[in-house]
Amino acid sequence: MVEGGASPSTCFKGRRLVRRFAVALALGCFAALPAAAQTVQERLPTCLACHGENGQSQTPDVPSLGAQQAFYVTVQLLMFRERMRVVDPMNDMTKGLSDADLQSLADTIAKLPAPRPPDGPLDDARIERARALVEKNHCNFCHTPNFAGQQNVPRIADQREDYLVKALRGYKNNSRRGYDAAMADVIEPITDEQILDLAYYIARVK
């Protein structure tokens, strides 16, 4: 285990905190960690402290990584390392990692179990609206019909709803630049209301 590693429970408490403290909390997960000179196996618990054990994130705004496409993870880690995507604390976390480290982390993350949808009753009206949006905007063309993704296109099935909202809003307001332009193009006609419906549905795919 990593010296000074935060226990997952530090992050679990975040569920009870209001959203605006989420980033600060996520940072807190790593506060005492040395950043460099670790093997992937040594480093992974640090990642999972916030991204969640077993592929499922319990931290607000932090994505679940389970069964994510290795290609996509590699691209994101590269973008963090090269600061093509600037997000605390990921730029620091990837600093100094070699290409082989990125690849190895991505391969390991891809093998984590897929996240599961939250329990509870479904809002059928929202699901219906979102399904129509998926059809209309062809989300399933690239993300595939079960939203498992392919290569550079991420798995989004059963991703955290708050993270999906954050990601889609980021593409919409251009604060998140993609490796290629696919999402910037696709998100253009989608309203914020529609983003909320899409995220609700995709977070609950059975």
Task: Give 24: exposed, middle or buried? Use CB within 10 Å, 0-12, 13-18, 19+.
Answer: exposed
Binding of another protein at residue 135 (CB under 8 A)? Answer: yes
The nearer residue to another protein, 10 or 152, going by C-beta atoms, is 152
CA pair distance 197, 187, nearest whole angstrom:
14
CB nearer another protein, residue 32 or residue 192: 192
CA distance 195 to 203: 12
Beta-bridge partners for 150: 153
Our CB check for another protein shows the closer of 12 and 141 to be: 141
120: tokens are 């509870």
DSSP assigned state of 150: B
To another protein, the closest distance from the beta carbon of 68 in angstroms equals 14
Q: Does 185 bind another protein (CB under 8 A)?
A: yes
Sole residue written with tokens 């496409």: 69
For another protein, give the closer residue by CB, 52 or 178: 178
* Amino acid (one-letter) located at 89: P
Residue from 15, 180, 191, 192 touching another protein (CB under 8 A): that is 180
CA angle 117, 25, 37 (to 5 degrees): 95
Alpha carbons within 13 A on the beta-carbon side of 202: 32
Contact region with another protein (CB under 8 A), list: 40-48, 77-85, 111-119, 164-172: 77-85
Report DSSP letters for 154-172, one per residue: PP-TT--HHHHHHHHHHHH
Binding residues for another protein restricted to 30-69, rule: CB under 8 A: none
Considering only residues 82-121, where is the footprint of another protein by CB under 8 A? 82-84, 99-100, 102-103
Note whether 181 binds another protein by CB under 8 A. Answer: yes
CA distance 170 to 165: 8
Is residue 18 near another protein by the rule CB under 8 A?
Answer: no
Instruction: Report the residue from 138, 173, 191, 192 that binds another protein according to the rule CB under 8 A.
Output: 138
Q: Which of 57/68 has CB closer to another protein?
A: 68
Q: Which residues bind another protein (CB under 8 A)?
A: 71, 74-75, 78, 82-84, 99-100, 102-103, 135-138, 141-142, 151-152, 179-182, 184-186, 188-189
